[in-house]
Chains A and B, each alone.
Chain A
Amino acid sequence: MRRYLAGRLGQAVAVLWAAYTVSFLVLDLLPGDPVSAMAAGGLDQAAIEPAQIEALRREYGFDQPILVQYLNYLGRAVRGDFGNSVATGRPVTSTLADALPYTLQLTAAALVLAVVLGGAVALYATYTAHRWLRQLLMSLPSLGVSLPTFWIGLMLVQLLSFRLRLLPAFGNEGAASLILPAVTLAVPTGAMLAQLLAKSLLTTLDEPYVQTARAKGAGRTRVHLRHALRNAALPAFTMAGILVGNLMAGSVVVETVFSRNGVGRETVSAVTVQDIPVVQGVIVFGASTFVLANLAVDLIYPLLDPRIVVAAAQQRSTG
């Protein structure tokens, strides 16, 4: 187990390093640098002296060769220092730390909604004896997956905020302001989960062991929840890492649409003004979340599926 864990942590570090390096190279390929963006008056509308520009370039290290820049930044990033935002001058880490709670609230609420709604749709669609209801429920997930997040957000705002005046349309004050963004963010994720779980449930319900359970005289609910769902949830659970990634990506759009503070909105503004240190910080943060979510899935999986311990041992002896 310890060796397995060490191996997985090693992989996680490699993924983070790769994400950092690739993003560094891509950002370097972009024309111009933040200092020229500032000089063009993009930030505070005031022109800057050429000598000042040179001084700023030196300060941020943009005058050095790319490899030296890379090693410098990487060295500091390893110690948790992603530099200062070009736009605000504040450290990247504290910029993100300030934004993080809002995003966490949003994604956590969306995740709970997605699991509850998606799971309910999948369970009921495969449980109901009414053909029309089954078909209706089964078509919901593909609809949810195909609707763009911003459109869902705008429609909800139109209806619930402007027409019915039930919920605030934007901002991040109070729990009420969380509802619309969380629902918007939960729709595509929940739909994806429902699709996967419903398909997995249908396959599982055809398994011989489900017939064994029915032959014991177990009721439909018992068969559905105890036998089918326990098994069908396993493939869906492996998707959890990807779902978390989805939510992160979705938060960029949702926070913009609803003008909420958060990591997503920081990302958008950083990209617009080419605030490279912040963009890099966001990328490493996103990659870490993704890696941690997947690591958690891998560690929890053997607890849910007793067969997996053996498989892991086999992999190690052959690999």
Chain B
Amino acid sequence: MSMPSGPAAMPENLLEISDLAVSYRSRSGVVRAVDGVDLTVRAGEIVAVVGESGSGKSTTAHAVIGLLPGSGQIDAGRIRFGGRDLAGVSERELRLVRGAQIGLIPQDPTVSLNPVQRIGDQVAEVLRVHGLADRRSAPLDAVDLLEQAGLPDPAVRARQYPHELSGGMRQRVLIAVAIAAKPKLIIADEPTSALDVTVQRLILDHIQSLTEAHDTAVLLVTHDLGIAADRAQRIVVMSRGRVVEAGPARQILDQPSHPYTRQLLRSAPSLAVARPTAPPRPAPGRAAADRPLVTVENLAKEFPLPRVAGAAARSVRAVHDVSFSINRGETFALVGESGSGKSTTARLVLRLVEPDAGRIVFDGKEITRARGEELRRLRRRAQLIYQNPYASLDPRFSIGEVITEPLRVFRVGDRASRRARARELVERVALPASVLDRRPAELSGGQRQRVAIARALALSPDLVVCDEPVSALDVSVQAQVLELLAELQAATGVAYLFISHDLAVVRQIAHRVAVMQAGRIVEIGATGELFDRPNHAYTRDLLAAIPGGRYA
């Protein structure tokens, strides 16, 4: 979407939040989540609220329809909508606004639909609740709405249950729910952060065209400045419960006045791609002349599918005829959408999954069928960093124990030398030595991922497989962790097999990239070349789907 085509008269404010304060009550006291926030949305306009987790952006959005989680409550301020102050009205009055005048598109479509109710009934419920359809017409209207939301075979889908639909399809169902009563405002709370990039773009396109058609305003909550840049006419930047900057999208992006906005802009990977300012990296280097560290040839893996009554046993080809090599000190990235087989490929390389066919050579030795001691040696030289730093550290271990566990398992050194190594590693990942005695729960997500990196490096491995290592982190933290990975590579010469669905992140860190689709590698090449001159249609699709592209 381009700039708003300058309406003659300034449209009236549809939503006007002034001096809003929201707090959560917890055992340790009252926490102010939103403090003195002002925000306006005009009719038919898209306003993006941008900020990192904990900035209060979701809280602000939920306060509008009185759906604050748990102990949240509005302490002060006004929320003017349709001539009323929603902060002051009763639950009964709010109920008439919810769904009918303000729709909500929630964050994670996979958990936002009632699992035991049919799709059609869930869409029809909005109409029934607000008396917009009767028992007979509601199911038909629901099918219509599903079609408008871009769901193929809407009549069939309406009779299905949520678990039978993909994430993208479920988000379309939720869009149908949100638009059902033709509301004047739709609150979209990170509507695509749980979806693949290509699906992301389709969904956002759809939200945009539907709301344009009905002149619906959208309050778009997102952590991704790239999405905000593509979609919004105005951007509101929030940090620690306050609005730090607000204004027309162009102005915020071109002349950010607040240092926090500038930092967000710098670290937003999608925008970094849009502007060719990826930091210079060491070239693949001399190592390329030596034999590669890992060579994979014609790797294949099938998984059996759940059997359907009456049908013959089927299986899905997760990985099909995949070949590539990784040089020492190189970052090789596998990109693709969920289900493309990239994680399975990495697990095959680590020998965590048995290949059906193909060869894996690690440092000149074939390890395709390695067992026992040989496999143990591989485990020592190839480590793994997981996606979710909240789940991958044992909550009962101290950080020191977490980091030294690989050393203990492989009986490296004694107690004192392990302790010294842990101190060294913690320093290397830029954490204070004091964290060694703390527990994972006391650390932030970024700090935990640093701990996971330190653990992976404890045995000085040759290869570290990074499975979406930053996708659970905030953008500014993402940038720091990526920098850290690059620094560590320069210092130790470790090679990374980097798995990500996020092309923007891959562009920042990888030397070479392989694009996977449906279990095959469709394109492989040096990062710069692949991004500038993509050969395969699918690669071009993926690149076009990166948010922030329209802003460049």
Contacts and interface: CB of A to CB of B under 8 A. Distances in A.
Contacts of A98: none
Interface of B: 65, 67, 69-70, 91, 95-100, 103-104, 106-108, 111-117, 122, 125-126, 129-130, 161, 163, 174, 177, 304-309, 313
Nearest to B160: A306
30 contacts: A207-B111, A208-B107, A208-B108, A208-B111, A208-B112, A211-B112, A212-B106, A213-B114, A214-B67, A215-B67, A215-B98, A215-B99, A215-B104, A217-B97, A217-B126, A218-B95, A218-B99, A218-B129, A227-B114, A227-B117, A230-B117, A231-B115, A304-B116, A306-B115, A307-B163, A310-B163, A313-B306, A317-B304, A317-B307, A318-B304
Interface in A191-212: 206-209, 211-212
Interface string A277-319: 0000000000000000000000000001111001001101110
Given A313-B306, A313-B309, A317-B307, A213 B125 contact: yes
Contacts of B307: 313, 316-317
A219 interface: yes
Nearest to B315: A317
A313 B313 CA distance: 11
Contacts of B95: 217-219
A230 B98 contact: no
Secondary structure call for the A interface: helix
A216 B186 CA distance: 12
Given A209-B112, A230-B114, A317-B306, A216 B106 contact: no
A211 B67 contact: yes
Contact of B308 (A1, A219, A313): A313
> Of B65, B99, B114, B130, which is in contact with the most chain A CB atoms at under 10 Å from its CB?
B114
A14 B283 CA distance: 67
Contacts of B91: 220
B114 A306 contact: no
Contacts of B177: 212, 216
A1 B310 CA distance: 10
Contacts of A206: 69-70
A58 to B, nearest CB: 56
Contacts of A313: 306-309
B281 to A, nearest CB: 40
A27 B305 CA distance: 49
Contacts of A317: 304-307, 313
Give the size range of A's interface with the partner: 20 to 34
Given A208-B106, A222-B129, 17 more contacts: A1-B309, A208-B107, A209-B113, A211-B104, A211-B106, A212-B104, A212-B112, A214-B98, A216-B177, A227-B114, A230-B117, A305-B116, A306-B115, A307-B161, A310-B163, A317-B313, A318-B304
A142 B306 CA distance: 42
B306 A217 contact: no
Interface string A136-165: 000000000000000000000000000000
A310 B91 CA distance: 40
B113 A307 contact: no
B231 to A, nearest CB: 21
Nearest 5 CB-CB pairings of A with B:
A217-B99, A215-B104, A216-B99, A217-B98, A314-B306
B174 A212 contact: yes
B115 A307 contact: yes
Interface in A23-57: none
Contacts of A307: 115-116, 161, 163
Nearest to A3: B309
Interface string A215-240: 11111101000110011001000000
A252 B65 CA distance: 55
A218 B304 CA distance: 42
A160 to B, nearest CB: 41
Nearest to A209: B114
A118 B107 CA distance: 35
B15 to A, nearest CB: 16
A206 B116 CA distance: 16
Nearest to A231: B116
Among A217, A218, A316, the most chain B Cβ lie within 10 Å of the Cβ of A217
Nearest to A222: B129
A219 B309 CA distance: 40
B293 to A, nearest CB: 35
A180 to B, nearest CB: 38
B112 to A, nearest CB: 4
Contacts of B161: 306-307
A310 B308 CA distance: 8
Among the interface residues B70, B117, B174, which one has the most CB atoms of the partner chain A within 10 A? Answer: B117
